[in-house]
Amino acid sequence: VSWWSMLNRICKSNVPGPFPLPIIGNAHQFVVRSTEFLGLLKSFTDKYGDVFRVHFFSYPYVLISHPKYAEALVSSADLITKGRSYSFLKAWLGEGLLTASGPRWRLHRKFLTPAFHFNILQNFLPVFCKNSEILRDKIRRLADGQPIDLFPITALAALDNVAESIMGVSVNAQQNSESEYVRAIETLSQITTLRMQIPLLGEDFVFNLTPYKKKQDIALELVHGQTKKVIEARRCELEKNNKTNISGTNEYGIKNKHAFLDLLLLAEIDGKLIDEQSVREEVDTFMFEGHDTTTSGIVYTLFCLSKHPDIQEKLYEEQLTIFGEEMDRTPAYNELAQMKVLELVIKESLRMYPSVPLIERLITKDAEVGGLKLSKGTSVVLNIFQMHRNPEVFEKPLEFIPERFDSLEHKNPFSWLAFSAGPRNCIGQKFAMMEIKVTLSTIVRSFKLVPVDIEPILCADLILRSQNGVKVGFLPRTQSNSKT
Ligand code: HEM
């Protein structure tokens, strides 16, 4: 029956794809290592084009990698339900903003948006500066030109940034060099990805019989324990300061604008305070989304810079123009806007190495999306990674050319979707750009980045990771070598 229904669906669809087998569909074609997954998707794109369909058992998936389909998908006000794969995140993130749908998502999105207003964001600058200086000092101790794996040390800095800014709590991850929390997040991220990519593990009854279930439970206990500590710490702080509601000005002196966690703890929605579990789910969501994504953005940008000394020097010149004789001081908020070259470099790195390589929506009723006939129950996957490397969309896609974002050539706003777009775009986009800019500015002013001939082996985890780390060599900039 399921095979008949698959074939029936295919007959009605105008999307090409491989023929599905009874019961398993195309699941057998997806038995690959996570490092092979992006390559596998590319081979399907090479064969069928920018849109193709597959079945994981009886579940239909359509994969797209062209702005003409991406635009219709992400800009629609109706297509806001996340795809089936996000259900594997529920044990960890519950119904947080990333995974929620329908009225709950609308309510929380509207309610949390003011916490990312630039009036609030600019107060996080000292936090980002302090943590990027700790990271810089750590790198300085290792900077002898030998490869440094950037992911672990950067993740700790990013974790401190998100905890101290939007949560208002210190976790001092950078000082406690081995963070169990960061490792547990990585475990959860890897297990969730395995469930997304290996169709058999997607079935609960199979997954529950594997050792992954136990590993997931241990990691969840640790992560949720840390979340509870963060919430409790902030609650105590608020009680100490006698803050019981969100009227008036906040600690930054800004009227009616409150940092994220205070909003959740003090605000009322529909006349009642947000329940404990919902607060926990949002904190888990933002702790994860707020640090792993920016880590990926920072490390791949440093990697790209290490391979392009000419662009690195241009960037250094820009920093020199802004900071002059005071290359060691922290940047002012308005100076971040002057870092135009840096912005282009970050955009180009996020094009080649998007922190979130794949996103997914569920079609909740039969619909035509960008000319594609899609039946109810189909999960549409936007392969951002592939779209950003599509030669029809970006000329010479495998070359690192930051200036491409400066010219009119890059006109279609849906061809670069590192932060997605439309109603479910990234709520933390400005926060992320600010944090990445501060961190990179601090590092490129202090070091020359040198390539170490170790190409990252990419894996499309929930975020873009690398199996062998992302490695760069650093040499301190001194008066004598600061210019080439
Ligand atoms: C380089 C950094 C970042 C990148 C590339 C990025 C990218 C994205 C993308 C592509 C989405 C859409 C996901 C989807 O449709 O399933 C998203 C959503 C989201 N991002 Fe980010 N993100 C970054 C940083 C951040 C930060 C710093 C935060 C929080 C502080 C954050 C919080 C979120 C949340 C909560 C959502 C879900 C929004 C919703 O569905 O309403 N992100 N992000």
Going residue by residue through the chain, which has 484 residues, state the pLDDT in tens, using 9 for 90 and above: 888 988 988 888 889 999 999 999 999 998 888 899 999 999 999 999 999 999 988 899 999 999 999 999 999 999 999 988 889 999 999 999 999 999 999 989 998 998 898 888 999 999 999 999 999 999 999 999 999 999 989 999 999 999 899 888 888 889 875 678 888 888 998 899 889 888 888 889 999 999 999 999 999 999 999 899 889 988 888 888 776 666 655 555 555 556 788 888 887 666 677 888 999 999 999 998 998 999 999 999 999 999 999 999 999 999 999 999 999 999 999 999 999 999 999 999 999 999 999 999 999 999 999 999 999 999 999 999 999 999 999 999 999 999 999 876 667 889 999 999 999 999 999 999 999 999 999 999 999 999 998 999 999 888 999 999 999 999 999 755 565 4
Give the domains, in start order, of the chain with CATH numbers. Answer: 87-360+416-476 (1.10.630.10)
Separation of first and last alpha carbons in the chain = 69
Query: Does ligand 1 have an atom closer than 6 angstroms to the CB of 201?
Result: no
Nearest Cα residue to atom 42 of ligand 1: 428
For ligand 1, atom 9, name the residue with the nearest CA: 419
Q: What's the CA-to-centroid distance between 242 and ligand 1, angstroms?
A: 33
Q: Is the CB of 45 under 6 A from ligand 1?
A: no
The pTM for the full model equals 0.93
Ligand 1: distance of its center to the CA of 296 in Å? 12
- Whether 83 lines ligand 1, by a CB cut-off of 6 Å, is no
Residues 6+ apart with CB under 8 A from 163: 169, 170, 171, 173, 230, 287
Nearest to 352 by CA among 386, 380, 317: 386
Residue nearest atom 17 in ligand 1 by C-alpha distance:
426
- C-beta of residue 10 within 8 angstroms of C-beta of residue 18: no
- For residue 354, report the distance from its CA to the centre of ligand 1, in Å: 12
Determine the residue of 112, 193, 289, 304 to mutate for testing ligand 1's pocket, defined as the one with the most ligand atoms within 8 A of the Cβ atom: 289
Q: State if residue 100 touches ligand 1 by the CB under 6 angstroms criterion.
A: no
Q: Does ligand 1 come within 6 angstroms of the Cβ of 260?
A: no
User: Which residues 6+ apart lie within 8 Å of 270 measured at CB?
Assistant: none
Nearest to 94 by CA among 236, 180, 223: 223
Indicate whether residue 419 lines ligand 1 (CB < 6 A). Answer: yes
